[in-house]
Amino acid sequence: MRRFVAVLLAFATAVVLGCATPAPASAPPQAPDGMGGIGIRVDVGAMLGQTISAETVFFARLDAPSGAPEATRLYASNFRRDGRVYLLGVPPGRYAAVAALRSELVLTTKDSRLAYFPQSLIDLTEVSIIPGAVAYAGSHVIGIGMPGVCASDSDAAQLRHAEMLGPGVPKCGLMRIVLHDLATSPLMVVNGSVFTLGDKVYHHRASLRESNRQAADQDEFIARARQDLAATGWTIGTR
């Protein structure tokens, strides 16, 4: 019972503080032959507290060789720097961002929050990538409320991608979410890669606060992306 109460208190503290613990940036991968990439910025807010840059953004491919969107596979970004997040080294095609991960330090524990994009935001992030080039998918600010991705207030895309990233995990009803969190290990497997998440993992329905595709914003992102990916062989462009 004490641990259950501690979890609820920690969650309440997280809503108020939103204190980030970002991981250090790693070296960007070299541009492989025949592959492309995506650059994006997603800032994730809470009901209260500061906005935090996403540390990982997840993408879906919209034009798999079968001619339909890939229904069983998502792609996790593999490089970030100063809030700019990149997915580098994927086959050419049409992609869109579908979810973002941010982490925060709450007292002595690390919480991970997965925010699932509504279809309206997914449409704004769609890009077409070509070999050797990194397409810009925009800068976006999203909000999250209480944990939960429920059929009553989530769209089909949010429900689908939440189940892809957390298959079988309770995502509706705070009590069910907390009890499951107490009994399980915070690991997630995406496209063959294992992610170690925070001590507690929460799934959220995201809402769009702001989306910026202005020319000045794009030019600034591209200029910084060229510095981020210098000497790696990537060409930076638009979507």
- The β-bridge relationship of strands 56-61 and 36-44 is unpaired
238 HSE (CA, 13 A, CB side):
8
Convert the pLDDT of each residue in 6-58 to its tens digit.
Answer: 333 333 333 333 333 344 447 888 888 999 999 999 999 876 667 889 999 99
Tell me, what's the pLDDT at 212?
82
Tell me, what's the pLDDT at 181?
64
H/E segment holding residue 121: helix 119-124
d(CA 104, CA 121): 24
d(CA 108, CA 99): 26
**Residues forming a β-bridge with 81:** 84
Tell me, what's the pLDDT at 50?
78
Tell me, what's the pLDDT at 1?
41
Tell me, what's the pLDDT at 214?
76
d(CA 118, CA 158): 6
CB contact at 8 A, 31 and 232: yes
| 239 residues of the chain, pLDDT tens digit each | 434 333 333 333 333 333 333 444 478 888 889 999 999 999 998 766 678 899 999 999 998 776 666 777 899 999 999 999 999 999 999 999 999 999 877 666 778 889 999 999 999 999 999 999 999 999 999 999 888 999 999 999 999 999 999 888 888 877 777 666 666 655 666 776 766 565 678 899 999 999 987 788 889 999 999 999 998 989 887 66
Classify residue 24 by its DSSP letter: P
Tell me, what's the pLDDT at 3?
40
Tell me, what's the pLDDT at 145?
85
Tell me, what's the pLDDT at 15?
34
Tell me, what's the pLDDT at 18?
36
d(CA 10, CA 87): 32
Which residue, 39, 160, 49, is CA-closest to 99?
A: 160
Which residue, 227, 66, 221, is CA-closest to 239?
A: 221
pTM: 0.80
d(CA 62, CA 55): 23
